[in-house]
Structure 1
Amino acid sequence: MKKRVIITICGRAGSKGLENKNLLDFCGRPLVYYTLSAAELFTKARPDLEIDLVLNTDSPHLKELVLAKYPEAIALHRPPKLAGDDVAKLRVFQQSVREMEERHGKLYDYHLDLDITSPLRRLEDVQGCFEALEAREDLDLVMSAVESRRNPFMNVAVRRYDHVEPAVPSHFVARQQAPACYDLNASIYAFRRDFLARNTSGMLWDGKCDVFEMLDTAVLDIDSREDFELMELIAWHIYESRPQYAAVRDNIRQ
């Protein structure tokens, strides 16, 4: 029997940083289509899985944009209580899985989330993150990440009233001595469904986690027009020099 996977693509209406960033064109194509293309490539690469593609949004414009080219996507409405700035994204994942299971009368084995604002990901990144979870029964989730440019054991400080202190106190005197640390880039999350079902805190760290490393420069936090334009410049360079990234762009439906 095939394992069941739900892939979610989640996007709110508007944005506190860059207005309506989920609806923007990126390098000449709708930003969300890059993530839809990656999901499609993963689905084709894993015919052994039963995969449902879900768009979770409160934006009618994003829904229209997605369904225009990817009509197989199942659109779920995000209720107002899950659309605020302070809502844990885990709650949106849980709503998506629960609603799909109730609607279709089946249980999933895995949940895979692909972030709209991370257009630079390879099929190999999606596969690698998912397969890292598949391979280890002891893990609850695997998250995409890059090695931290700043190590909290060495060169990250936190303010304490009238002074600053090391974020993580240690006796290391060289960066090479400190443990490897990672920046979680939010591009890909792979969950076991049962972890989502039992999680009541909304905290990822209540599960046993691991990371899958991606290319450092492939993901930026897009919170302003300047961030977006810088990401486009990086993308043009990566598409020219790394064909696996260009393959996702070239797979976008016309």
Structure 2
Amino acid sequence: MYRDKSFIGIVPARAGSKGIPNKNIININGKPLIQYTIEEAKTSMYLDEILVSTDSHKIAEISKKCGANVPFLRPVELADDTAKTIDVIIHALEELNCLGKSYDYIVLLQPTQPLRKGWHIDDAIKKIIDDKHDDLVSVSEVSEHPILFRTIDQTGRLHNLLNVESTVRRQEFTKYYKVNGAIYINNIRKLSSNTSLNDNTLAYIMDKEYDLDIDEPNDIELLKINTK
């Protein structure tokens, strides 16, 4: 808890993955990917519970060994490529309610962001409460500035992504940030099936060194280097 508010950390980890088979439990430097997130979540001073939402008995067993709770399995219809994360969260909250558990805030921790630390989680929790906000999302400054991004039309002509003059010194570039997927926090009372987590409005800025999204095989090699 933090300032009398309770927090449930939910780690979504379905079995299916097209890019990297069994991605959430692939062994990296001696431990499954999901363990990186669970271990850091366990160091949080403010998370009241860490729950893994999965459709897989194998992921459930691994998660329990790592110290997370898995009191139920996710239904099949919430475990395919079309399932929305918000629906997974709502399902988990409904199941918890049936078990007599309720919380004030949901903290979503995707296992594909393994470099996020426990103190990041706590800093984000303090920020959303101290700023008296209902939703927060972690962001990182982008390395490649969108002022140099272009689209190409059917004739091969370039068009600026931003409607600004791009002949600007790099030192004068406006800072831009991307949603990095590491931390989402939402007031549970304000959640609905229409909630778009990526559109959470309060920013929690993380250094770029902690931003690594495991999406393709090369990302696994980067994680191996960063966790030796």
What is aligned with 1:99? 95
- Higher fraction of helix: 1
Decide whether aligned partners of structure 1 residues 205 and 213 sit closer, same or farther in structure 2, where only a CA change above 3 A counts.
closer
Deviation (angstroms), 1:200: 3.5
Of 216, 226, 241 in structure 1, the residue corresponding to residue 208 of structure 2 is: 216
**Is 1:62 equivalent to 2:45 in the alignment?**
no
What secondary structure does 1:67 align onto? helix
What is aligned with 1:248? none
Give the whole-Å Cα distance in 2 for the aligned partners of 1:90 and 1:178.
Answer: 35
Equivalent runs, 1:1-254 vs 2, <5 Å: 2-42=4-44, 45-46=45-46, 51-70=48-67, 73-104=69-100, 106-137=101-132, 139-152=133-146, 154-162=147-155, 163-171=157-165, 173-174=167-168, 175-196=170-191, 199-204=192-197, 207=200, 209-236=201-228
CA deviations 1:206-225 (Å, max 9, x no partner) are: 65x12212231323232222
Is contact 2:112–2:215 with CA below 8 Å preserved after alignment? no
Give the whole-Å Cα distance in 2 for the aligned partners of 1:176 and 1:99.
Answer: 51
Decide whether aligned partners of structure 1 residues 206 and 36 sit closer, same or farther in structure 2, where only a CA change above 3 A counts.
closer
Is contact 1:32–1:116 with CA below 8 Å preserved after alignment? yes
Give the whole-Å Cα distance in 2 for the aligned partners of 1:10 and 1:65.
Answer: 14
Give the whole-Å Cα distance in 2 for the aligned partners of 1:58 and 1:193.
Answer: 23
How much is the aligned-residue C-alpha RMSD, in angstroms? 2.2
CA deviations 1:81-116 (Å, max 9, x no partner) are: 222223322221222222212331x54211111111
CA deviations 1:115-173 (Å, max 9, x no partner) are: 11222122221111111111122x33211221011233x11223433333222212353
CA deviations 1:164-191 (Å, max 9, x no partner) are: 3222212353255454211211111111
Give the whole-Å Cα distance in 2 for the aligned partners of 1:88 and 1:82.
Answer: 7
Give the whole-Å Cα distance in 1 for the aligned partners of 2:197 and 2:4.
Answer: 27
Is contact 1:54–1:76 with CA below 8 Å preserved after alignment? no
Decide whether aligned partners of structure 1 residues 210 and 58 sit closer, same or farther in structure 2, where only a CA change above 3 A counts.
same
Q: Which runs of 5+ in 2 are unaligned?
A: none
**TM-score when normalising by structure 2:** 0.87
Deviation (angstroms), 1:39: 1.5
80-89 or 59-68: bigger deviation:
80-89
Q: Which amino acid aligns with 2:16?
A: G
Q: Which amino acid aligns with 1:127?
A: D
Decide whether aligned partners of structure 1 residues 206 and 35 sit closer, same or farther in structure 2, where only a CA change above 3 A counts.
closer
Identical columns (%): 26
Give the whole-Å Cα distance in 1 for the aligned partners of 2:144 and 2:190.
Answer: 31
Deviation (angstroms), 1:73: 0.9
Q: Which amino acid aligns with 2:81?
A: D
Paired residues in the alignment total: 224
